[in-house]
Amino acid sequence: MHFPATGSSGTCPFTGTDKVGALPTREAPHRSVGTTSRSHFGGILPPLIGHRGAAGCAPENTLAALRKAGEIKCRWVEFDVRLTADGQLILLHDERLERTTNGRGKAALLSLATVQRYDAGRRFGTAFRGERVPTLAEAVALLGELGIGANVELKAVRGREAETGAMAAALLCGLWPPQLPAPLISSFSQKALAAVQACAPPIARGILFRAVPRNWRVLAEKFGCATIHVDHCHLHPALVAEIRESGYPLLAYTVNDPGRASTLFGWGVTSVFSDVPHILSAAAESATCLPAAAELNPVGASRQGAVR
């Protein structure tokens, strides 16, 4: 299988980033990026990240959701990306079109032109009628206009994981707006993460877990990950402390309740993904007053209920 070169010149610009919004420097060796990125992302990730754009306020994974995220002052968004049959990267969470569009079928078996014939806004609300499933390229261009950073989550059908990772890495290397903070690619798929690592080592990677496995650190090191992403329902204070004390920023999904967000920040979670980030802003502000994770004592802290 042939994978595209990273960027138009075959190189990737995301190397040795040190500042929010700064152009990455090219001097830092690729092998240091994992470590550099860990501290880099710990420093620049905002406490609130719009989930699927801002899925509580506009149809998920659409350009309208990215615009809405900008309106409610999100500094970063997360969205889901997958391949069409003709090898185009689109923003779509599910394998199939039915839940979020008026189309039918599996995106991986349809061409981009077919997918974009369908309405991706009307199911959310009539005000969004006419919204289409966007390409990753369209989304990236809009992020540049809006000045919003992104966590690009790779969703891959079986057998196309490496292709998805390689295509996404190449596209981001070629099109990522230089004025934005460097992107963060995440996935549940270890094959997709491995492809990103192989094709564009400087792009920061985050490993996604539902429940954190015992060997989480081995996996994070294997794929040179900068961040750890976990379903908040599976977090508890000791686990948060273990991850944070290992030097990894910890991102928790999907948190729509302010009380739960405060609890997670209190445990030391770095960022939460939320469909309604504007509702969590008071919780996020209180997070900045909390002690660093290394200072937290998880012993005796009570485990709080999940509120997904």
DSSP for 121-165, please give it.
STTT-GGGTT--PPBHHHHHHHHHHHT-EEEEEE---TT-HHHHH
Choosing from 2, 30, 93, 229, the catalytic residue is 93
Q: Is 51 a catalytic residue?
A: yes
Give which of 8, 42, 290 is closest to 181, Cα–Cα: 42
Partner that binds at residue 275, options Mg ion, ligand G3P, none, CB closer than 5 to 8 Å by kind: none
Q: Among residues 153 and 275, whose Cβ is nearest to Mg ion? A: 153
Q: Is 40 a catalytic residue?
A: no
CA distance 104 to 95: 11
Q: Among residues 51 and 205, whose Cβ is nearest to ligand G3P? A: 51
Q: Nearest approach, Cβ of 84 to Mg ion (angstroms)?
A: 18
Give which of 54, 106, 103 is closest to 84, Cα–Cα: 106
Helix ranges (DSSP H) in the chain: 33-44, 63-71, 112-115, 136-146, 161-175, 190-199, 216-222, 237-245, 258-267, 281-287
Residue 148 C-alpha from the chain's centroid: 12
Cβ count near 132 (within 10 Å): 19
Partner that binds at residue 64, options ligand G3P, Mg ion, none, CB closer than 5 to 8 Å by kind: none
Partner that binds at residue 229, options ligand G3P, Mg ion, none, CB closer than 5 to 8 Å by kind: ligand G3P
Partner that binds at residue 273, options ligand G3P, Mg ion, none, CB closer than 5 to 8 Å by kind: ligand G3P
Q: Among residues 91 and 173, whose Cβ is nearest to Mg ion? A: 91
Q: Nearest approach, Cβ of 215 to ligand G3P (angstroms)?
A: 20
Which residues bind to Mg ion, rule: CB under 5 A?
A: 80, 153
Q: At 218, is the secondary structure helix, strand, or coil? A: helix
Q: Nearest approach, Cβ of 190 to Mg ion (angstroms)?
A: 16
Q: Nearest approach, Cβ of 153 to Mg ion (angstroms)?
A: 4
| 89 contact partners, CB below 8 Å, separation of at least 6 | 81, 82, 83, 135, 136, 137, 164, 167, 168, 171
Choosing from 51, 232, 234, 278, the catalytic residue is 51
Which residues bind to ligand G3P, rule: CB under 6 A?
A: 51, 78, 80, 93, 153, 186, 208, 229, 253-254, 273
Give the chain's length: 308
Q: Among residues 41 and 253, whose Cβ is nearest to ligand G3P? A: 253
| Contact call for residues 165 and 199 (beta carbons, < 8 A) | yes
Q: Among residues 51 and 160, whose Cβ is nearest to ligand G3P? A: 51
Q: Nearest approach, Cβ of 273 to ligand G3P (angstroms)?
A: 5
Partner that binds at residue 244, options ligand G3P, Mg ion, none, CB closer than 5 to 8 Å by kind: none
Catalytic residue ranges: 51, 93
